[in-house]
Amino acid sequence: MKAEFEKISEELRNRFHITDKSEFEIETIKATTLLTKNRLDLGAKLYYISCYMEGKGIALAEELYRKHISAMQYEVQGEEQSEEQLNESLKNFQDMIESFKADEEVEQFVITGSQREILDGSHLTACSIYFDKEIETIRFEEIEGETFDFDFFLKNGLEQGYLELIAGAFAYYRKDCVGRYSLGESNRYRRMSDLQKAIEEAGCNMVYGKKVERDGEKGWYYIFYSDRRKKLEEDICKAHFADIKEALQLEQKEEKQKVTVTEEEEVQCKRARNNRCRQTKYWMVMREMLHLPVKKNKSGYGCARPRNRQKEK
């Protein structure tokens, strides 16, 4: 087990308080097992892989990749990614894709938590999903990871158009996602949180949702899947995805190679990013008051938000 433990980066050990005494197990699983609503970011990575492999739509795919990585890294490391860091991340991702394309053996593990949420290795997971490979994981039963669902990206100022691209790719590779409208008199949900709660109570998982107006009726459009439902037949999956593709206007975005952002949405996203910044500063002050370690960056504040810790035994 020592050899496997040494594969875990020092940064990850510090972030999740992993020591050589932490219990873990080695699993070999189908990569799509890790494609859950809490890791919507895999949709962005899968979208990039598909564009890279097909040699088209690269400009939009790169823009989406940079935006989603920026949001995630700020949450994890407490600082914005520089252009140099983003370029390096993209180059490493391209190298990994080429390795899978050449069918080379990739000697890496995906690190997962108690519910098989990814702690480290999302790029490897995305490549394994695209190329239909099984992956080896190091699973820590006592650790919970971060959540990168659509709510996370909204709160971190990612525009709806980019979220729709991510949700579309997620649905395509997940295969069992269904899109639904809740409009007019049949719509009983005033807030997105009410809709999410209802979907969860029905034993389903909500991937994405947005306010819509259709045929003069206002309400919601949402995408969900259920782990309890029997596996859908391929034709049914394709029909569901065709509906999702139309609802999210994916073809139009890909044709234009551009995501349209209104002035109102731009203001809202900027406000969300500013709120994120203030929260980070707040947690930095709190941790300093409690004499907890704070990683400061060049701008004077850093990864101060408390991370998910090991569960109490």
What is the rounded average pLDDT of the residues 123-139?
A: 95
Give pLDDT tens digits for 5-42.
778 888 888 888 888 888 899 999 999 999 999 999 99
Buried b (16+ CB within 10 A) or exposed e, 236-247: ebeebbebbbeb
What tokens were used for 44? Answer: 């962005």
What pLDDT shows up at residue 119? Answer: 92
- Is position 200 within any domain? no
Q: Using 50, 70 and 90 to split pLDDT, how confident is the model at 313?
A: very low
- Is position 212 within any domain? no
- What are the CA-CA distances from residue 260 to residues 53, 67, 151, 203, 253 (Å)? 25, 15, 20, 34, 8
Give pLDDT tens digits for 73-104.
766 655 667 889 899 999 999 999 999 999 99
pTM of this structure: 0.86
Domain count, the chain: 1
**More confident of the two residues 289 and 312:** 289
Residue 141, class by beta-carbon neighbours within 10 Å (0-12 exposed, 13-18 middle, 19+ buried)? middle
Rounded Cα distance, 307 and 313, in Å = 18
What pLDDT shows up at residue 299? Answer: 36
Other residues' Cβ atoms within 10 Å of the Cβ of residue 290: 8
- Is position 250 within any domain? no
Boundaries of domain holding 270: 1-174+260-313
| Percent of residues, the chain, with pLDDT higher than 90 | 54
What is the rounded average pLDDT of the residues 199-205?
A: 93
Nearest to 253 by CA among 163, 148, 130, 174: 163
What pLDDT shows up at residue 135? Answer: 93
Does residue 82 contact residue 6 with C-beta atoms inside 8 Å? no
What pLDDT shows up at residue 76? Answer: 61
Q: Using 50, 70 and 90 to split pLDDT, how confident is the model at 144?
A: confident
Give pLDDT tens digits for 223-244.
999 987 767 788 899 999 999 9
- Is position 213 within any domain? no
Does residue 156 contact residue 186 with C-beta atoms inside 8 Å? no
What is the rounded average pLDDT of the residues 109-126?
A: 93
Average pLDDT, the chain: 85
What is the rounded average pLDDT of the residues 193-204?
A: 92
What is the rounded average pLDDT of the residues 49-57?
A: 96
Q: Is the predicted pLDDT of residue 296 greater than 70, yes or no? A: no
What pLDDT shows up at residue 233? Answer: 84
- Is position 292 within any domain? yes
Q: Using 50, 70 and 90 to split pLDDT, how confident is the model at 145?
A: confident
Q: Using 50, 70 and 90 to split pLDDT, how confident is the model at 287?
A: low
- Is position 141 within any domain? yes
What pLDDT shows up at residue 280? Answer: 64
What pLDDT shows up at residue 28? Answer: 93
Q: What are phi and psi of 287, to 5 degrees?
A: -70, -35
- Is position 233 within any domain? no
Rounded Cα distance, 36 and 42, in Å = 9
Amino acid at position 31, single letter: A
What pLDDT shows up at residue 283? Answer: 64
- Is position 211 within any domain? no
What pLDDT shows up at residue 70? Answer: 85
Q: Using 50, 70 and 90 to split pLDDT, how confident is the model at 297?
A: very low
Q: Is the predicted pLDDT of residue 130 greater than 70, yes or no? A: yes
Q: Using 50, 70 and 90 to split pLDDT, how confident is the model at 308?
A: very low
What pLDDT shows up at residue 16? Answer: 84
Q: Is the predicted pLDDT of residue 45 greater than 80, yes or no? A: yes
Q: Is the predicted pLDDT of residue 61 greater than 90, yes or no? A: yes
**More confident of the two residues 134 and 304:** 134
